[in-house]
Amino acid sequence: DTGVSQDPRHKITKRGQNVTFRCDPISEHNRLYWYRQTLGQGPEFLTYFQNEAQLEKSRLLSDRFSAERPKGSFSTLEIQRTEQGDSAMYLCASSLARSGGVNEQFFGPGTRLTVL
């Protein structure tokens, strides 16, 4: 069990550019979540996948944001036409749905995005 990994760890981009982040969940985990965290705040939910199906999206996820999880393994989060307000830490988490409703999330180290 190598834990959740995210790539890149840091990304600096200019306003208007597109960026893509990758998340590799714990191998047997069927659930995957993306969150965004700004300075001084708790993580905010963006979207959720169960296997390859995207089952829930936050209203925070504007049309410029898209997420995929092909084949139910790794996931990508793309931000098009980045804005300075997109600067944040993007966190990925995964979990394995267990009997009795147990659903403990494990987080990756995050990707810190800075939009200049």
Which residues of this chain interact with other proteins, rule CB under 8 A? 31, 33, 35, 37, 40-45, 48, 50, 55-56, 58, 89, 91, 93, 101-107, 109-110, 112
84 or 102, CB closer to other proteins? 102
CB of 14 to other proteins, least distance (A): 23
CB of 53 to other proteins, least distance (A): 11
Q: Tokens in use for 96?
A: 């394995």
CB of 81 to other proteins, least distance (A): 25
CB of 22 to other proteins, least distance (A): 17
DSSP state of 101: G
17 or 38, CB closer to other proteins? 38
Return d(Cα 71, Cα 69) in angstroms, integer.
6
Q: Cα–chain-centroid distance for residue 6?
A: 9
66 or 96, CB closer to other proteins? 96
Torsion of CA 54, 55, 60, 65, to 10 degrees: 10
Q: Are 115 and 10 in contact (CB under 8 A)?
A: no
DSSP state of 102: -
